[in-house]
Amino acid sequence: MRSYKRLTLLCGHYGSGKTNIAVNMAMDLRKQKERVAVADLDIVNPYFRTKDSDADFAHAGIRLICSSFANSNLDLPAMPQDLYAITDDRDLSVILDIGGDDRGALALGRIAPAVLAENDYEMLMVVNGRRPLTPDAPSTLEVLREIEAACGIPFTGIVNNTNLGIETTEETVLSSIPYAEETAALAGLPLVMTTVEESLYEPLAGKIENLFPLKLQNRF
């Protein structure tokens, strides 16, 4: 069973898979904790948001902290009105889904001092080596450093979510491990997990350390 800090922050290049991981981590965390929330702090992405899973969250008893404008026709990069519940309600365990790149990470600036002061957090960099702007460790590290500079919170680990969408195979994931390890080594951080779509979990279990299965949100 994965152990969680009170706050788990998911950052990364946009399109790296943060939202799907946030949804699944919240479901996993809910098995361990009574009071769990997902915070959608994405101020960049107009479509495909954590809010798409709001019915699942309600069913699982997970609180969704989210701008009331998400998934509406209003293109407002607004923060949720209950933002401070994340840092002030210390009995609440929160998975934070942050917008992509340094621009998305800017949203963290406001709560960063409280996150650092409490010091009960994991700051995870989600990486996908099959994204065109992060094909290797040096380019991924560049994005990582830009995000840290924008939000003021240092990363604590790497999450390898290398995939090719519906064309992902065992080989796609297996061949991404050297990339993920090199990125982690360059950043001086641990590779904390590799995430895979749930049908690939069984075939890859035992071949990859710290494998984490993902049930994907519905798409087209």
Partner 1 sequence: MADKVLMKGNEAIAEAAIIAGCRHYFGYPITPQTEVAAYMAKKMPKIGGTFLQAESEIAAINMVYGVASAGCRVMTSSSSPGISLKGEGLSYLAGSDLPALVVNVQRGGPGLGGIQPSQSDYFQATRGGGHGDYHMIVLAPASVQEMAELTVKGFELADKYRMTSMILADGTMGQMMEPVALDLAVAPAPAKPWATTGTGMKRAHNIVNSLSLDPEELERLNLARYERYAEVEANETMYEEYRMEDAEICVAAFGIAARVSKNAINEARKEGIKVGLIRPITLWPFPKAPFKKAAGQVKQFLSVELSMGQMIEDVRLATECRVPVTLVNRVGGMIPSPDQVLEAIRKASKNGGND
Q: Rule CB under 8 A: is residue 167 a binding residue for partner 1?
A: yes
Q: Rule CB under 8 A: is residue 216 a binding residue for partner 1?
A: no
Q: Rule CB under 8 A: is residue 46 a binding residue for partner 1?
A: yes
Which region among 1-9, 109-117, 162-170, 177-185 touches partner 1 (by CB under 8 A)?
Answer: 162-170
Q: Which is nearer to partner 1, 32 or 175 (CB)?
A: 175
Q: Which is nearer to partner 1, 3 or 73 (CB)?
A: 73
**What number of chain residues touch partner 1 (CB under 8 A)?**
23
Query: What character string, x for contact with partner 1 (CB under 8 A) and - otherwise, covers 175-214?
Result: ----------------------------------------
Q: How far is the CB of 54 from partner 1 (least distance, A)?
A: 17
Task: Return phi, psi of residue 174, to 5°.
Answer: -60, -40
Instruction: Read off the tokens for 161.
Output: 């979510």
Q: Among 5, 15, 28, 56, which residue sits at the site for partner 1 (rule: CB under 8 A)?
A: 15
Q: Rule CB under 8 A: is residue 149 a binding residue for partner 1?
A: no
Q: Rule CB under 8 A: is residue 55 a binding residue for partner 1?
A: no
Q: Rule CB under 8 A: is residue 5 a binding residue for partner 1?
A: no
Written in H, E and C, the secondary structure of the chain is CCCCCCEEEEEECCCCCHHHHHHHHHHHHHCCCCCEEEEEECCCCCCCCHHHHHHHHHHHCCEEEECCCCCCCCCCCCCCCCCCHHHHCCCCEEEEEECCHHHHHHHHCCCHHHHHHHCCEEEEEEECCCCCCCCCHHHHHHHHHHHHHHHCCCCCEEEECCCCHHHCCHHHHHCCHHHHHHHHHHHCCCEEEEEEEHHHHHHHECCECCEEEECCCCCC
Give the residues lining the site for partner 1 (CB under 8 A). 14-15, 45-48, 72-75, 128, 130-133, 135, 163-167, 219-220
